[in-house]
Amino acid sequence: MEKEPGITKKVDEFLEIFRKGEEFTKEILRENEKLRFRIAQLEGAVQKPAEEESVRMYEDRIRKLEEEINAVMERYHKVEEENKDFASKYVEVEEINNALANLYVASYQLHSTLDFDEVLRIIIEIVINLIGAEVFAILLIDEKTNDIVPVSAEGIPLEMVPKARFGEGIIGSVAKEGESYFAADISSGGDVAKGEPIVCIPLKIKEHVIGAIAIFSLLTQKEGFTNVDYELFNLLAGHAATAIFSARLYTQSERKLTTIQSFLELLKEKPKR
């Protein structure tokens, strides 16, 4: 059976149209695929700057926090230093406080009596307990002979301490000049027999020297002098001298009063006979 040429032509045309439609559809699908890919690309491109922005933001925050930490650490170290400074100042204040307490007790005790022997005993206690001297003597100037005579001693018998001449030797020079003497080496001790102390303090009322304290050796545990020791030496130089002078005057006036009273009693009794 022979096909009609018109139908064949129409079939061919239809097939042609169909193929074209197929190609067109395929083309559309390809385009669609390309567009999807492009959309995905664009979407990615849009997200990336947002992520970078947040990373930058976090980096900024980290940097700021690091700066804050550094500032805090710096402040902490500063406070720590201040704390150390305060601690050392506290220790210093404590030491001053202790020194003042010692000086207060020493001066209080020195002026607590007008008894000459007791004043000497208090000076001895201060020199032993506060300064830490082992062998020492208190010497007073005899204004008649100008000799510097030992009146009390600790660690050695009083008779063993020699008199000193005013202006001669260490003790005599201290009495004359009114300036304290400190040996360069205090560890070896002084020489009692030669009248060579390691420390000699003048006993002064203003500029008038009335005697001296001569230290010949220190207690074994006392290795050297501290600031408070020098303060005590100064205190002793002034206050001990005043205390000795007052006690002497008081004893003399007491003696005179007793003599006068006895004399008056005698005068009262005379008319009765």
Partner 1 sequence: MPNILVVEDSPTMRQLISFAMKRIPNARVIEATDGVDALKKLSSEKVDLILADINMPVMDGLKLVSLVKNNQSYKDIPVIIITTEGAREDKERALAIGANAYLAKPIQTQELIKLVTSFISA
> Measured in Å, how far apart are the chain's first and last C-alpha atoms?
205
Residue 132 or residue 169: which is nearer to partner 1 going by CB? Answer: 132
Closest CA to 138 of 189, 202, 207, 187: 202
* Residues of this chain that bind partner 1 (CB under 8 A): 94-95, 98, 101-102, 104-106, 108-109, 112, 122, 125-126, 128-132, 134, 219-222
Residue 25 or residue 97: which is nearer to partner 1 going by CB? Answer: 97
Residue 136 or residue 166: which is nearer to partner 1 going by CB? Answer: 136
Enumerate the β-bridge partners of residue 138. Answer: 152, 213
Q: How far is the CB of 80 from partner 1 (least distance, A)?
A: 24
Q: How far is the CB of 151 from partner 1 (least distance, A)?
A: 19
Q: How far is the CB of 127 from partner 1 (least distance, A)?
A: 10
Q: How far is the CB of 57 from partner 1 (least distance, A)?
A: 55
Q: Which two tokens stand for residue 115?
A: 């008894």
Phi, psi for residue 249 in degrees, rounded to 5: -60, -45
Q: How far is the CB of 111 from partner 1 (least distance, A)?
A: 12
Residue 16 or residue 95: which is nearer to partner 1 going by CB? Answer: 95
Amino acid at residue number 92 = E
Return the number of other C-beta atoms located less than 10 Å from residue 49's C-beta.
9
Dmax (CA) for the chain in angstroms is 205
Residue 130 or residue 170: which is nearer to partner 1 going by CB? Answer: 130
Q: How far is the CB of 254 from partner 1 (least distance, A)?
A: 22
Residue 128 or residue 156: which is nearer to partner 1 going by CB? Answer: 128
Q: Which two tokens stand for residue 86?
A: 């305060």
Is residue 136 helix, strand or coil? strand
For residues 181 and 174, the answer to whether their CB atoms sit within 8 Å is yes
Measure the CA dihedral 248/212/215/222, to 10°.
80
